[in-house]
Structure 1
Amino acid sequence: MNRFAIIATPVIALTLAACASTGSNQVVQAPVAAAAPVFAAPLVASPAQTTQQALATTSVSNGFVDPAALALMSAADSAAANTAQFYALQFGRPGAPRAWSGDKGTTGSVAVGPYVRVNNLDCRDFTHTVKVGGREFVKKGTACREQNGNWMVEKGAA
């Protein structure tokens, strides 16, 4: 019986293989349902995007710098002052000035006070000093961070 199993196994395998190869090789595809529309979730700004947006709107022309100094500042000076003003308000330690430098020797620094809550907004006192053309200009005020992340100088701030 052992000899029969040795001979019969390959013969049966070849017979089954022959049967499988003589049939049709037709492939049947299952019906495909139309894809459901994909609705994107509303985009939520990342902290970095929010910071960049708020940085762009925290402008020294909105009362963060003495207007007389602003008239003498170049675009590069204003950009450097904007960046320093925003990062000092957003991340600065109270009393630790954040220095900046612009074109042709124009320099400045921004010092901030501690956070205080006013009308459910984070606010900070600031002192922005600008040195341009050998003259020094100082602007003091209070800025509050609006709900959208923008820092605005409070009305009536000196």
Structure 2
Amino acid sequence: MRAGYLVVLAATLLAVTGCTATTGQPGLLNSFAPQSSGQSSVIEALNGGIIDPAVSAQLTADDRRKALEAEYRALEAAPSGQIVAWKGAQKGVSGEVYAAQPYEVGSQNCRQYVHKITRDGQSTTTRGTACRSEDGNWTPLV
């Protein structure tokens, strides 16, 4: 009887630990860390993300990096619909990224997401889907 109680208790604790906290921080089961070496590898794996190429060409390398970091944070840890905002080094450059609820395709986790970039008062919104590859990196679908 006591062993059964301990099994139920352990299963309950594991289930609760996997829930997302109200602060938006990922729970234990959602805190997957990519197996690549360093933040730049994670950003490179996004392969330019879903940023419109015409808009990307007008951003500095630092602003593109900030935009891709926001995409990664939205895909990796943000609850569905929570905006991940970023501000560029250039005056008037900023963006917002939000991802939908994760879903599975085969054995891969995928998320649809939206990236709105504002530059000099003009906004461009792009939509796309990214899936987590076997190495743990998010890769946008073409």
Query: Normalising to structure 2: TM-score of the pair?
Result: 0.68
Gaps of 5+ in 1: 1-46
Q: Residue by residue, what CA displacement relative to the aligned partner does 1:10-45 show, whole Å, maximum 9, x if unpaired?
A: xxxxxxxxxxxxxxxxxxxxxxxxxxxxxxxxxxxx
Q: How far apart in 1 are the matches of 2:120 and 2:47?
A: 18
User: May I ask how many residue pairs the two structures share in their alignment?
Assistant: 108
User: Out of 60, 64, 67, which is 1:81 matched to?
Assistant: 67
Which runs of at least 4 in structure 1 moved beyond 6 Å after TM superposition?
none
What amino acid maps onto 1:150 in structure 2?
N
Residue identity matched to 1:135:
Q
Question: Amino acid of the residue matched to residue 85 of structure 2?
Answer: A
Aligned-partner Cα distance in 1 for 2:35–2:104: 25
- What's the offset of the Cα at 1:48? 7.4
Change (3 A) 1:51 1:130: farther
Distance 1:102 1:120 in 2: 35
Q: Which has the larger radius of gyration?
A: 1
Shift of 1:130: 0.4
Asked whether the 8 Å contact 1:55–1:82 carries over to 2, the reply is no
Q: What CA RMSD, in Å, does the superposition of the two structures yield over aligned residues?
A: 2.0
2:82 to 84, 96, 101: 96
- Using the size of structure 1 for normalisation, the TM-score is 0.62
- Asked whether 1:57 is paired with 2:44, we answer yes
- Corresponding residue of 2:128: 141
Q: Point out the structure with the larger helix share.
A: 1
